[in-house]
Structure 1
Amino acid sequence: MSCPICGGDTAHTVRPFCSKRCADIDLAKWLNGSYAVPSQREEDAEATSEQAENQPYRPH
């Protein structure tokens, strides 16, 4: 199994990551909203598009 962040070999203590650093990077992506579970509800799609229009552009 390879690390989903960097592709390196996983370490047993921080599995499925290779290091604490990659685990922390993954956690930060969840906390800042980079990862999201798509919704099939129409209301959610409208709210998301309105939020995207109101937020300034943020480069990665």
Structure 2
Amino acid sequence: MNCPICGAATVAKFRPFCSGRCADVDLAKWLNGSYAVPSRAPEDVEAALDAVEAAQDDTQKPH
């Protein structure tokens, strides 16, 4: 089995990764939303659009 992050051979201690570093890289991808599963549900699309509009409004306001 190869590490899904770098392709190196896995180590039992960090399986399915080869090192703690690759495990941390994978965790960071989960935490920042890189592994998000897209949804086509209308409620999700509307919520995402509302979030984008709110973020744009926040960036236009002076601090």
TM over 0.5: yes
Q: Does 1:8 align with 2:12?
A: no
- Structure 1 counterpart of 2:22: 22
Q: Distance in 1 between matches of 2:47 and 2:16?
A: 33
The TM-score, its normalising length taken from structure 1, stands at 0.73
Q: Distance in 1 between matches of 2:52 and 2:9?
A: 37
The TM-score, its normalising length taken from structure 2, stands at 0.70
Q: Deviations over 1:1-60 (max 9, x none)?
A: 111100110111111100000000000111111110222411112322x2356468xxxx
| Gap runs ≥5 in structure 1 | none
Q: Does 1:31 align with 2:27?
A: no
Higher helix share: 2
| Gap runs ≥5 in structure 2 | none
Judge which range, 36-45 or 10-19, deviates more: 36-45
Matched residue pairs, number?
A: 55
Superposition pairs of residues 40-59 of structure 1, within 5 angstroms: 40-48=40-48, 50=49, 51-52=51-52, 54=55
**1:8 corresponds to which letter in structure 2?**
A
**1:5 corresponds to which letter in structure 2?**
I
